[in-house]
Structure 1
Amino acid sequence: MSTALLIAAASCATQQADDKVIDKPDLKITDGIFSVEALEALGRVTEPVVSPDETKILYGVSYESIEENASNRDLYVMNVDGSDAKRLTRTPKSENNAVWINGGAQIAFLYPDNGVNQVWVMDADGNNRKCVSNVENGVNGFLISPDEKHVVMIANVKYTKTAQDVYPDLPKASGRIIDDLMYKHWDEWVTEIPHPFLGDFDGNSVTNVYDIMQDEPYEAPMKPFGGVESFAWSPDSKQLIYVSRKKTGMEYALSTNSDLYLYDLESKTTKNITEGMMGYDTNPVYSPDGKYVAWLSMEHDGYESDKNRIFVMDCATGEKTDLTANWDYTVDAISWAHDSRFLYFLACRDGVKPMFSIGLDGTVSVVAQGTCDYDCIAPLSDGRVITMHHSMIAPNEIYSVKDGEVTQLTEVNKELLNQVTMPTVKQEMVTTTDGKEMLTWVILPPNFDESKKYPAVLYCQGGPQQAVSQFWSYRWNFAVMASHGYVIIAPNRRGLPGFGTEWNAQISGDYGGQNMRDYLSAVDYMKEKPYIDGEHIGAAGASYGGFSVYWLAGNHDKRFACFIAHAGIFNTESQYLETEEMWFANWDLGGPFWDKSNAVAQRSFANSPHKFVDKWDTPILITHGEYDFRILASQGMMAFNAARLRGVPAEMLIFPDENHWILKPQNAVLWQRVFFRWLDHWLKPEAAVEEAK
């Protein structure tokens, strides 16, 4: 593996004058309906960054262009109280990873140059932009040291040999020679991996760059989603912590055992500070006084949805403490208070995601909560916290929190949202087949009339252990779904976080079990409501939600009138050998299907949806992306073929250029239009009659 950092020969180029800038769409809504087009027109507000003197907030807003089939993110700044918001950039490409430097006089950020991202610097008013790095393959992220004399940059290095490396006389050969697992991941063939490169920084250029993991064939940060949150500078800028899972091939595919590594800049030595901690260790954060390091830690190797605990290490003694040992929920994000006496954190609890604080003695307090999910934490020295939150009927905006009082600072989408009537969200407590109480979110259409009957859609969550909290999604958007005239039923079935570790863990090894009975309990409960049209209920979901739809298709006893499955697991035996992260398959399915002595695995594979195709009799829409290497598109194709061979009405939408998600704007609109066309045809009799005319 080559780990040399190649420096681009060309200097930073200026942007082409004819590049089109994607800006805020001029969408006028006359019917008051929150449509797919309205969803795509929203400004997507991204994480706020407070200036060093705590007087300004830097943030980004992204807009999508359906016409250009692309998106763009520009930077904005406002006073810390939300006043005097100003746009800093208006460029044809996105500014990302923006941070304050030079006491707030300048801003550093990522921006493309010659087709790849580089580190740039500009004045705080947006003027005098200049490129300060020249990394040939580009920079994926960066973190500047507290003294601003150093920067760590994420850059890709070559990982695998090409055919030409082995046989130079075959320059046009395209074959990949593979001799171990993890040759593909998420949506790519693994030919490069990210490494941390350290460089000197003087505000004008990055020099003396070197790879602190030179000749190590390991990722840092971890793919596919790791970024700058995987790094932490010590307050004195003398040490850097990075996250890595130092494994390759089959060992990597079978393990979630990542560690925190402490790199000393002077001695250039590395120490594993979480050795012996066997699960995911991620998101390191130094306390402002430098006495402690906090991070998120999972206990079990191979269990990616384990409880995320808050660990703190005393830097002087090395003593480690689990602050959340007596707190039964999983943590999403952490940030130290300015006085280093406690941490703020986010965690799902009871169907929402509040902001909490936790002392070094483990005492937990609520900082802010509501019918919403908080999304980031930026503490100020006066006790305020700058944050964002969203809900099922409102996208992210920036807020300030202090003493339980929440103040909205941005209104990026006020103009658009004032033109629509949003649905109503309420919660129902449903008794499950084993006598538990299950929180179920119910989203009612705008202008809901309880005297009328509405078709309904059961939402099946993916993950399988991702929260059904007050999330806002640009793919599975409940506000859009309800605005199409459907009542949405969204149960917090077994396997979801926010209701304790036992509830969360129950689903592992029980695919097709209690969580499916939970779904049916929610549907049966809602069918008794006078406003539900019990003859016209659909079920839809993605990933494990797609598995759920396929399973329900063979086990629903006429409860549903149609199904929609995106990127779902249809044949678990095939899935076991097709997926890339084997730790997931082993933990959740219990092991390989050929292990006849493994009762858990045998139960899992006996409950594979394809085993029940003989009972499929209900129309089904199947969608999938061909870049999905987590759940291959062949799973969707098998399901479609099975439905057609069974004589079941079926349709399939395949995207040759999408992964597990649908990301391109026109593809996103196409997916939504096909989604609602299918639902309307089978769940709204009047729509089917109109379609037949």
Structure 2
Amino acid sequence: MKRITLVSVAILSSMISHAQQNPVMKTNKSVESSDSQRPLSPQQLWELGRVSAEGLSADGKTLIYGVSNFNLDENKSEKNLFLLSLSDKKVTQFTQDAGSESVIRIDANGDIIYTLKGQLYVKNANGGEAKQLTNVEGGLENVKFSPDGKHILFSKAVLLKKYHSVDKYADLPKSNVFVYDNLDYRHWDSFNHGKFNHPFIASYTEGQLGEAIDLLKDEPFYSPQAPFGGAEDFTWTPDGKAVLYVSKKKFGNEYAVSTNTDIYRYEIATGKTTNLTEGMLGYDTNPTYSPDGNRLSWLSMKTDGFEADKNDIIVFDKSSTQRLNLTSHWDGTVGSFKWSKDNRKIYFTAAVKGTVQLFAVAVPSNFNLKSLPIIEQISEGQFDITGIVGETKDGLVVTSTSMTRATEVYFYDFKSKNRSPLTTVNDKAYAGIIENKVEGRFTKATDGQDLFSWIIYPPNFDPTKKYPTLLYCQGGPQSAVTQTYSLRWNMQLIASQGYIVVAVNRRGMPGWGVKWNADISKDWGGQAIQDYLSAIDDISKESYVDKDRRGAVGASYGGYSVFMLAGVHEGRFKSFISHCGLFDMTSWYGTTEELFFANHDLGGAYWDSANKKTYTDFNPITHIDKWNTPILIFQGGKDYRVPIEQGLEAFQAAQLKGIKSRLVYLPDENHHVLSGQNAQVWQREFFTWLSETL
């Protein structure tokens, strides 16, 4: 019999019942500002400290955290490490060298080993000078020490294929030509130079590295995964005799159409490699041992090609050789996880009802179950839990955000069920920034389902006045709209310029059940677009919404949504903004790189008649005859997920139809905007366009 403890179920039922009588669910009090406070500005957003939790000391008494500060004049970031005593809250700056330090290991004697400019350094938390441990040419990445400290595991790129002419033809060193016979010729924002990230192990003695051994033995596969994999793709076995690593051992066309990563075990003594997840066809990632070393856990998706499939926690028991899916019976998808110190449960994060919360699942002592593992939601509130740092006897150290607060480190108390701040890096900055009111609102969708949105109001919101209102369209399409805090699509920043923002949890988003999340696949232009229209129509019933000044904005699938809405909105909107949006599904299928995504979410190729609706009814380009509204288009030059022709085609069509339109081309940016000064240009163009058109 299934037994799931979800605190939010009862709360949500109450919310929905209330919503049926009153469509607005108030989740915080009206915010009043003082004379010394001002609305958040784009420059202030980038001046905020970016906090990262690096770990807890062995005794659990000290938090090590990082703070990155971006210098807009120099257009670069600087990160330093800090120590926080959890008993007296005393903060000590631990590093101050130029560069960005990241913690690798925290020893019981207080030694903290960290990386700086690709090299290893050590410094004791109790004082003393830092000592450089390595001087390896090219530097080290994704370093992990063996349990006995005598070996290190790290990654580096290996040239295996001569795609670039300077590698293929040594007598033509000034040439710049790429030659390919297979797909995977480019990924995210880089063309394939024939280099593949590989895991290596080497002996380590007082900073000296022995000969490095390539665990992939010159095979043309990636580990860590490209393009975003890191140290979470590696782990040592508890006895230090083997290494586990994640890899998708496919090449060329097979690589481009599959998500089937596996977890491999490499025996150091013999060099033997074993596939631990053979037959598991989707993503298998994040191999992690329990504290006692008796059980191996990882995250797993079932379906090959479905990158946003339900993510489950799998546990393998070494003594019984049994495998158990701890979350298969739970109607949600796991974000990240961490074992409890007593080995009896696993804490994890997951999207739920427009937020990201803490959960715990009991790990049975015996896998021959008569009942399914108990899952409990252990936090609840208008915030996101973005990471689990570590456990103390009274609670968890976590990172957390809200729509009006950037990341800080918090302590979540098990008894009080409250989170309290441990770091206060940005408190001084926020003291001078007006706090925006944020409310949850339920709407009835066209199919009768309850549709949730976050409504973010301008500073000093006055319901007797009228405000321009923006519909925010999220990307993904299977990514959540929660209490996250972005450096670009920042809800507080947009609202602070005088706009009401409607951020909709439309079809396709996690946090509302597995079916809700999956329903958008092969239906991009269907119910999700209707959800957007339902949400804007509902909020427009309020007297404070100026129905003559409504706009729609979004990026990626959100940009696609803007292009679709431009052809079907029937006069609702006066302005559109699309960033790296998909405009012509046919040309997009022919130029994007991760074809597994296109095959799953669109149904497959445009030449397959079974997918006709995707390339006609759900293709923005087929609705261009109805375009008549001003539109701003952002496009990254190095965006290979949604390549450049998408933005250029849309801009050219708008121009030729005589529609007020603007192209903002970012030649050095990918699907995102990573440069601080480019981000400032992006914000200025964004808000200038809105002031011109709304």
| TM-score normalised by structure 1 residue count | 0.91
Aligned length, in residue pairs: 648
CA deviation string 1:343-388 (max 9, x = no partner): 0000001111111110124211122221111011133352421111
Percentage identity across paired residues of the two chains:
41
> 1:529 Cα deviation (Å)?
0.7
Whole-angstrom CA distance in 1 between matches of 2:281 and 2:301: 8
CA deviation string 1:284-321 (max 9, x = no partner): 11001111111110000000000001111112333211
> 1:143 Cα deviation (Å)?
1.3
Whole-angstrom CA distance in 1 between matches of 2:175 and 2:591: 25
Within 5 Å, give how 1:110-259 maps onto structure 2: 110-112=115-117, 117-124=118-125, 127-161=128-162, 162-191=164-193, 192-259=195-262
Of 102, 109, 112, 1:107 maps to 112
CA deviation string 1:458-501 (max 9, x = no partner): 00000111000111100100000010010000110000000011
Q: Residues 241 and 429 of structure 1: is their aligned pair in 2 closer, same or farther, counting only changes over 3 Å?
A: same
The answer for the alignment partner of 2:370 in structure 1 is: none
Whole-angstrom CA distance in 2 between matches of 1:35 and 1:141: 35
Of 339, 347, 354, 2:342 maps to 339
Of 432, 445, 461, 2:445 maps to 432
Whole-angstrom CA distance in 1 between matches of 2:376 and 2:301: 22
The answer for the alignment partner of 1:686 in structure 2 is: none
> 1:199 Cα deviation (Å)?
1.6
Whole-angstrom CA distance in 2 between matches of 1:104 and 1:556: 64
The answer for the alignment partner of 1:477 in structure 2 is: 490
> 1:227 Cα deviation (Å)?
0.5
> 1:132 Cα deviation (Å)?
2.9
Whole-angstrom CA distance in 1 between matches of 2:320 and 2:269: 21
Specify every segment of 5 or more residues in structure 1 that has no aligned partner in the other structure, as ranges: 1-28, 684-693
Structure 2 counterpart of 1:36, which letter? P
Whole-angstrom CA distance in 1 between matches of 2:281 and 2:88: 44
The answer for the alignment partner of 1:75 in structure 2 is: 81
CA RMSD of aligned residues (A): 1.5
Contact 2:57 2:110 in 1 (8 A): no
Structure 2 counterpart of 1:556, which letter? H
The answer for the alignment partner of 1:641 in structure 2 is: 652
> 1:558 Cα deviation (Å)?
0.4
- 1:530 and 2:543 correspond: yes
CA deviation string 1:237-289 (max 9, x = no partner): 22221111011110000000000111222332211110000000011110011
SS at match of 2:646: helix
The answer for the alignment partner of 2:302 in structure 1 is: 299
Of 408, 411, 420, 1:397 maps to 408
> 1:120 Cα deviation (Å)?
2.6
Within 5 Å, give how 1:453-532 maps onto structure 2: 453-532=466-545
Whole-angstrom CA distance in 2 between matches of 1:263 and 1:453: 64
Of 55, 58, 73, 2:61 maps to 55
SS at match of 2:113: strand
The answer for the alignment partner of 1:39 in structure 2 is: 45
Whole-angstrom CA distance in 1 between matches of 2:533 and 2:391: 46
Contact 2:354 2:505 in 1 (8 A): yes
SS at match of 2:481: coil
Q: Residues 124 and 31 of structure 1: is their aligned pair in 2 closer, same or farther, counting only changes over 3 Å?
A: closer
Contact 1:335 1:343 in 2 (8 A): yes
> 1:86 Cα deviation (Å)?
1.1
Q: Residues 103 and 202 of structure 1: is their aligned pair in 2 closer, same or farther, counting only changes over 3 Å?
A: farther
SS at match of 2:420: strand
Within 5 Å, give how 1:472-621 maps onto structure 2: 472-596=485-609, 598=610, 600-621=611-632
Bigger relative CO (Cα 8 Å, ≥ 6 apart): 2
Structure 1 counterpart of 2:249, which letter? K
The answer for the alignment partner of 1:4 in structure 2 is: none
Whole-angstrom CA distance in 2 between matches of 1:127 and 1:560: 62
Moved more, 73-82 or 674-683: 73-82
Of 323, 327, 337, 1:324 maps to 327
Structure 2 counterpart of 1:586, which letter? N
Of 436, 455, 460, 1:423 maps to 436
- 1:667 and 2:667 correspond: no
Whole-angstrom CA distance in 2 between matches of 1:126 and 1:245: 44
Contact 2:48 2:429 in 1 (8 A): yes
Whole-angstrom CA distance in 2 between matches of 1:201 and 1:447: 59
> 1:83 Cα deviation (Å)?
0.9
Q: Residues 176 and 340 of structure 1: is their aligned pair in 2 closer, same or farther, counting only changes over 3 Å?
A: same
Contact 1:48 1:387 in 2 (8 A): no
Whole-angstrom CA distance in 1 between matches of 2:88 and 2:347: 22
Within 5 Å, give how 1:273-422 maps onto structure 2: 273-361=276-364, 362-403=373-414, 404-422=417-435
SS at match of 2:201: strand
Whole-angstrom CA distance in 2 between matches of 1:124 and 1:100: 12
Structure 2 counterpart of 1:204, which letter? G
The answer for the alignment partner of 2:13 in structure 1 is: none
> 1:605 Cα deviation (Å)?
4.3
Q: Residues 353 and 345 of structure 1: is their aligned pair in 2 closer, same or farther, counting only changes over 3 Å?
A: same
Specify every segment of 5 or more residues in structure 2 that has no aligned partner in the other structure, as ranges: 1-34, 365-372
CA deviation string 1:208-235 (max 9, x = no partner): 3221112111100101110011112222
Q: Residues 126 and 503 of structure 1: is their aligned pair in 2 closer, same or farther, counting only changes over 3 Å?
A: farther
Contact 2:525 2:618 in 1 (8 A): yes
> 1:639 Cα deviation (Å)?
0.6
Whole-angstrom CA distance in 2 between matches of 1:459 and 1:82: 43
> 1:57 Cα deviation (Å)?
1.0
> 1:109 Cα deviation (Å)?
1.8
Moved more, 338-347 or 127-136: 127-136
Whole-angstrom CA distance in 1 between matches of 2:135 and 2:155: 13
| TM-score normalised by structure 2 residue count | 0.91
> 1:81 Cα deviation (Å)?
4.1
> 1:133 Cα deviation (Å)?
3.2
Structure 1 counterpart of 2:672, which letter? W
> 1:203 Cα deviation (Å)?
4.6
> 1:158 Cα deviation (Å)?
1.1
The answer for the alignment partner of 1:66 in structure 2 is: 72
Whole-angstrom CA distance in 2 between matches of 1:206 and 1:323: 40
Whole-angstrom CA distance in 1 between matches of 2:73 and 2:253: 43
Q: Residues 239 and 369 of structure 1: is their aligned pair in 2 closer, same or farther, counting only changes over 3 Å?
A: farther
> 1:607 Cα deviation (Å)?
1.7
Structure 2 counterpart of 1:434, which letter? D
CA deviation string 1:524-583 (max 9, x = no partner): 001101110011011000000000001111110000010000011011100001000000
Whole-angstrom CA distance in 1 between matches of 2:681 and 2:151: 46
> 1:190 Cα deviation (Å)?
1.6
Contact 1:48 1:58 in 2 (8 A): yes
Q: Residues 465 and 78 of structure 1: is their aligned pair in 2 closer, same or farther, counting only changes over 3 Å?
A: same
SS at match of 1:574: helix
